[in-house]
Amino acid sequence: MGRGLDVLVIGLGAMGSAAAAWLAECGYRVAAFDRFAPPHAHGSSHGRSRIFRQAYWEDPRYVELLLRAGDLWTKLERESGRRLLRVTGGLMVGPQDGQLVKRSAESARRFGVRHELVAANDLRKRWPVFRVGDDTMALLDHGAGYLDPEACIEEQLKHAVRHGAQLHLDEEVLEWKAASGEVTVRTGRGNYAAGHLVVAAGPWAPQTLADLALPLRVTRQVVFWFAPKGDMAHFREDRFPVYLFETNDEQPIVYGFPLTGPDSEGVKAAVHGSSEVCTPETACREIRAEDERLIRRRLEETLPSLAGRLVRAETCLYTMTPDENFVIGHHPHHARVTVAAGFSGHGFKFAPVIGEIAGELAVRGESRFDIEMFSPTRFAVGQGTPELRVR
């Protein structure tokens, strides 16, 4: 039994590694567990790039967190000496009366996010690879860019270790218990006790938080790297930004990146949000012909010259909530347990501030950020049990 610990953390992906780093830096004694050795490709945080943006169409209440996340990524870059965030600018492209441009602009204006509106003609001149109609426009979020998720997790883990956290890699938590004075976890290697528990299990949250019966849906997503048909120069990151492209026909948003590595790696693009429900264990990791057909059809409609030879593709997992907002808060039945789950396909950019919030909730009982919209109790939750066998 590991004694004298303040906090146990289940999961060392994007959110758990950030929580462990924040807690350790604040001087708390932390032991953190992962069933694999992150960064790894079994969950939600792999694939070399994640969009970072601050003009947030989803809900302006996220912007305060994004401003803080931006500062924390910069701090981690400075301390690690490693480039984690590439600022390329970010284009939100869509119909003038669509949700993406309108709502991004509203949130940018309200919070003073540096941006520019770009009309269709100008868009065609500056970024000729986009196929845009005359009613299309774009918002350019100047501070947007992309994070390297594997490097970010590596650096969060190193930061945690530098500040004294114990990391238990390849050590799956099989069970956790919450009693009035402490929490305990059992793994294949031992039992551990501490004052508090943070559960950041990503797409395994439905199992790890089974007692809460949160309405989480884990879905299979596919991302692709293409060799463009035309000139690769159009996609180089000194002239091509990250982007989200909405069309006005109820089709899922297309998003993508500039060329982030050597030409041979291809240019990454994907469709946001397939609804194929799975678990991490049942997810089909093969790439099917219909996966490729869908992305090619969407690229024909948005960036036709990108849909050249397919270089590579891989699967990843979203953990969706019904309202697509995160679940962060105290476990409704166990004050010593903090939950960070349901990041609904847009959580990575927030990781360091989620780590801070989860850490604050665990050791201070509250967060200085407004997190009401993330409350687990906005859903009808299960009864909770003092013991949960994860497997």
Ligand X SMILES: Cc1cc2nc3c(=O)[nH]c(=O)nc-3n(C[C@H](O)[C@H](O)[C@H](O)COP(=O)(O)OP(=O)(O)OC[C@H]3O[C@@H](n4cnc5c(N)ncnc54)[C@H](O)[C@@H]3O)c2cc1C
Q: Which of 240, 348, 374, 379 forms a contact with ligand X (CB under 6 A)? A: 348
Task: Note whether 173 binds ligand X by CB under 6 A.
Answer: yes
Q: Is 349 in the site for ligand X (CB under 6 A)?
A: yes
Q: Does 22 bind ligand X (CB under 6 A)?
A: no
The correct pick among 7, 8, 9, 15 for binding ligand X (CB under 6 A) is: 15
Residue with the CB atom nearest ligand X in the bound state: 13
SS3 305: helix
33 is a contact residue toward ligand X (CB under 6 A):
yes
Is there binding between residue 253 and ligand X (CB under 6 A)? Answer: no
According to the binding rule CB under 6 A, does residue 328 interact with ligand X?
A: no
List Cα–Cα distances, 30 to 22, 54, 126, 159, 194, in angstroms. Answer: 10, 31, 49, 13, 9
> Is the link from the previous residue into 95 a cis peptide, with omega within 30 of 0?
no
d(CA 44, CA 41) in angstroms, rounded, equals 7
Q: Which stretch binds ligand X (CB under 6 A): 227-235, 293-301, 327-335, 340-348?
A: 340-348
Nearer to ligand X, 31 or 390 (CB): 390
Distance in Å, CB of 106 to ligand X, minimum: 20
In whole angstroms, give the CA distance from residue 314 to residue 319: 17
Give me the sign of the Cα torsion angle 206, 57, 249, 309: negative
Task: Say how far apart CA 119 and CA 250 lie, in whole Å.
Answer: 22
Q: Find the binder of ligand X among 10, 31, 151, 371 (CB under 6 A).
A: 10
Question: Measured from the CB atom, is 36 or 111 closer to ligand X?
Answer: 36
Beta pairing, strands 2-10 & 30-33? parallel
- What residues contact residue 201 under an 8 Å CB cut-off, 6+ apart? 10, 11, 16, 207, 208, 209, 341
d(CA 315, CA 211): 28
24 lies in the binding site for ligand X (CB under 6 A): no
Compute the distance between CA of residue 30 and CA of residue 207 in angstroms, rounded to an integer: 23
45 binds ligand X (CB under 6 A): yes
Write out the binding residues for ligand X, residues 47-76 only, by CB under 6 A: 47, 50-51
Q: Does residue 269 interact with ligand X by CB under 6 A?
A: no
43 touches ligand X (CB under 6 A)? yes
In the bound state with ligand X, the residue whose beta carbon lies nearer, of 15 and 353, is: 15
Q: How far apart are the first and last CA of the chain?
A: 20
Q: How far is the CB of 201 from ligand X (least distance, A)?
A: 4
For residues 266 and 246, what is the distance between their CA atoms, to the nearest angstrom?
A: 23
Q: Are strands 267-271 and 254-256 parallel, antiparallel or unpaired?
A: antiparallel
Q: In this chain, which stretch among 5-13, 61-69, 130-138, 233-241 interacts with ligand X, using CB under 6 A?
A: 5-13
CB under 6 A: which stretch of 74-82, 158-166, 200-208, 377-385 binds ligand X?
A: 200-208
Taking residue 34's Cβ as centre, other Cβ atoms within 10 Å add up to 26
Residue 16 lies near ligand X (rule: CB under 6 A): yes
When asked if residue 225 is in the footprint of ligand X (CB under 6 A), the reply is no
Residues forming contacts to ligand X in the complex (CB under 6 A) are 10-16, 33-36, 38, 43-45, 47, 50-51, 172-173, 200-204, 208, 221, 223, 316-318, 343, 345-349, 390
